Structure formats: structure tokens, C-alpha cells
Amino acid sequence: MQRMKLSGWIAMLASSAACAGGGRAPRPTASVRREPFGTTDRGEAVSVYTLKNTHGMEVRALNYGGIIVSLEVPDRHGRFDDVVLGYDSLEQYQRASPYFGAIIGRYGNRIARGRFTLDGRTYTLATNNGPNHLHGGVKGFDKVVWDVAPFERRDTGGLVFRYTSPDGEEGYPGTLRATVTYSLTEGNELIFDYQASTDRATPVNLTQHSYFNLAGDGRGDILGHLVTLNADRFTPVDSTLIPTGEIKSVGGTPFDFRTPTPIGARIDQDDEQLRHGRGYDHNFVLNKGGKGGTGGAGGEGAAVTLAARVHEPGSGRVMEIHTTEPGLQFYSGNFLDGTLRGKKGVVYRHRSGFAMETQHFPDSPNKADFPPVILRPGEEYRSRTIYRFSVQP
Ligand code: BGC
């Protein structure tokens, strides 16, 4: 496949830095490159962008849905593996993807019966998940082609994704201008910065839907991963996964991940909530320690705090998640059932990947007591999530 170097200017930056340094060897910088990745059913050209830092950590993402198709991360011996689930071709992403690696919007997670009332008017959205609306609808932000601008800053390479969602798209009010920035740092962090503005009041809840297997994509189930969640409480759900409105303590339940616990330790217990989710598929209320996070739609001014830590003992890989968001959907891949074939023909069996979606709580447009998700004209939606990778001996 022909490689189109987007980053001539990046190389120039590197060489001018070297000149400024009086002839010292050029400082290695993160690189960005672009290659074609097919054409959508609607005839739009899709590209895959590769970000690589100088430690060899590499992210590949599409302008289609902002989908992260691969993420190469070192294990405790410095060996790299791809730790996210996904497909080899655009055609597969378009045909049947449970949101592998994608940006989710306008509203991550569920809105009960696809209905909400805002400023006295009732809006009807698609019901694409049983009786409910899920992840922005039939054609959410995961299925649109975004404008992408690569960038290179000192010690960071990244991609800026822009999409303007027209008034009425998927039933949502107002024209929403969304910007999502992926940054890969020299500290082996992948940072997501979300921004949005609107010309009419609308719910907004943007997130990222990568599925992880820190042992490596295709290396079995994720039940042995040790999860720690910085959450004393969670939001129990009904049988269609809509929160009941209760905010419940995790104490004495299989939802207590306050100390490192294997995902599989309690997942099949006879527990009503686990039955509803067919495992973990729940929103955890993150402990914010008085650092905000329950402000406006974007948690404006909220501090980035620790949400989760996941450790895969076999490889030693650790992923820490930090976020400004008040909630985290921990989904243990319960709906993967062996019918999808992923990269290199791998069969995605039950619980072969997990997702940790930083977010405001599900069904917030219908829950007055949950942190608000309505963005109004003149306000700016802002949210930040950091995935930090390291190893533990
Ligand atoms: C939801 C799951 C759903 C998955 C893929 C998760 O965010 O909570 O119920 O199956 O996304 O659609």
C-alpha cells in the first residue's frame, strides 16, 4: 500500500530543531502518516492515520467514526502487541460493528424509549437497542466521516477530528459542532479532548468506545484482568439497561472494584444487576473527592481524576484511565458471542474485550437528579480522558 507522507512539515520541524541545537543529532519526534483505507458505501474516501511515539507506541485511527483500529503497547519485556479489538477492512466496520474503537455521539449510552423533553418540547430519537436509543442512534458519530487535521507538538503527535452534526440529525435539536482530539504523548498516554458548541439546547455526551484486551487482541477472554475502579457507587439498571434512578453503594456487591479484582471473579454470580447486564454493563459513579465533575454538560472546570486501573498479570500491561467525567461505563464484552471475526480472522468470543467508557450517566436527559447533559448556545462542552499505559513487573 502506498504511503502518503503527511508529515513533511513534521520532518522539517525535527531538522530545524537539530539546526537550532548547533548540529546535534535531530531530536526524534512523534510521527503521523496517512494511508488510504477504502471508500464508504456513500462513496467517501476513508484514510487511516498512524501516530507513533519514539518509544514505539503506535495508534492507528480512521477518519470514519474516529475509529481506533489498532493500538500497539509494550509488555513488561518491551514486546509490542495490539491491545484493541477491531477489523481489517472498512467494509467490516460498516457491516456489523458493536462500536469497536469509535467516537460515540451525540449521546453515549442509552436514552429511555428514545424520548426526552427539553424546554417544554418532546423529542423522539431512533430506538436502536430494544425499546431504547443507544450511542447516538442509527447513524451516530461512529458512522460519519470526520475532517481530520494531524498535528505535531513537542513530545505529542495527534489528530484533530471535526464534525458538524446538522440540526435534527438522528432527532436531536440544534447544529452541533464537535471537535475531538487524539494525542499520543511521549509518556505513553493517549489523550482524548472533546469540545462542542451548539446553536440550540441539546443533550451531549461524547465518549470513546475502544474494546481492550491487554494480553493482546485475540488472546482469549478478559476475565483474568485485574480491575480497580475509583467508584463507591454505581447506577443500577432495569432489564433494558436504563438506570432506575437509584445511586447505590457498591459495598457488599459484585460491583465493588475498589481493590484490584479479576473481572471474572464474580461475573457469573446470581445477582439481579449482573443478570440484567449479562455481566458488567453498568455506569459507575466516580469518586471525585470534591473536584467537580458534576457541573454542566461537559463538566466544565472539572478536574481530571483517576477513574480506573486495569492490570493484565500475564503481560504486565497496565492501563490507567483519568477523566473529567463523572461516570464510567464498564462493559465486559457480554454481547460478543463468537459471530464476529476481527483482525487477522480472530473470532471474538464471549468477553474477549472490555470497554471503559467515560461519560455522564445513562438516560440523564430523563433524570433530573443526575449531573446535567444539556448544552446551550454560548456554552462550550469540554471533556478530557487520558488512557495511560505502563507495565507492572
Ligand atoms: C453498552 C452495551 C453495548 C455495547 C455495544 C456498551 O456501551 O453499554 O450494552 O452492547 O456498548 O453496543
pLDDT in tens, 323-336: 999 999 999 999 99
Find the catalytic residue in 152, 169, 170, 357: 357
CB atoms within 10 A of CB 269: 11
Instruction: Tell me which residue has its CA closest to atom 10 in ligand 1.
Output: 335
More confident residue, 293 or 33: 33
114 torsion bin: left (phi>0), alpha (psi -120 to 50), beta (else): left
Q: Average pLDDT of 31-41?
A: 95
C-alpha span between 370 and 59 (Å, rounded) = 34
Amino acid letter for position 238 = D
Of the listed ranges 30-39, 197-206, 236-245, 291-300, the one predicted with least confidence? 291-300
**Residue 119's pLDDT band (cuts 50, 70, 90):** very high
Ligand 1 environment, Cβ below 6 A: 98-99, 241, 281, 329, 331, 335, 355, 357
pLDDT in tens, 53-91: 999 999 999 999 999 999 999 999 999 999 999 999 999
What mean pLDDT value characterizes the chain?
A: 91
C-alpha span between 244 and 171 (Å, rounded) = 24
Distance from Cα 363 to the centre of ligand 1, integer Å: 14
Any residues with CB less than 8 A from the CB of 160 and at least 6 apart, and which? 148, 149, 150, 151, 179, 180, 181
Total number of residues shown for the chain? 393
Residue 179 predicted with pLDDT over 90? yes
pLDDT at 21: 37
Of the listed ranges 2-11, 175-184, 295-304, the one predicted with least confidence? 2-11
Distance from Cα 8 to the centre of ligand 1, integer Å: 40
Q: Average pLDDT of 261-268?
A: 98
Q: Average pLDDT of 220-236?
A: 98
Residue 15 predicted with pLDDT over 70? no
pLDDT at 292: 52
Instruction: Tell me which residue has its CA closest to atom 8 in ligand 1.
Output: 281
Residue 291 predicted with pLDDT over 70? no
**Residue 302's pLDDT band (cuts 50, 70, 90):** confident
pTM over 0.75: yes
Distance from Cα 39 to the centre of ligand 1, integer Å: 26
pLDDT at 31: 81
Is 209 designated active site? yes
Residue 4 predicted with pLDDT over 80? no
Give the residue, out of 134, 211, 351, 356, with the most ligand 1 atoms within 8 A of its beta carbon, to mutate for a pocket test. Answer: 134
End-to-end CA distance of the chain: 38
C-alpha span between 307 and 357 (Å, rounded) = 10
Cell of 327: 461516570
Q: Find cell 519485556 and name the residue.
A: 77
Report which ligand 1 atom has the smallest distance to the Cα of 104: 7
pLDDT at 297: 54
Q: Average pLDDT of 291-311?
A: 72
R_g of the chain computed on alpha carbons: 20
pLDDT at 300: 54
Given a contact cutoff of 8 angstroms between Cβ atoms, the answer to whether 268 and 293 are in contact is: no
pLDDT in tens, 347-375: 999 999 999 999 999 999 999 999 999 99
Report which ligand 1 atom has the smallest distance to the Cα of 362: 8
**Burial of 362 by CB count in 10 Å (0-12 exposed, 13-18 middle, 19+ buried)?**
buried
pLDDT in tens, 150-160: 999 888 999 99
Instruction: Tell me which residue has its CA closest to atom 7 in ligand 1.
Output: 109
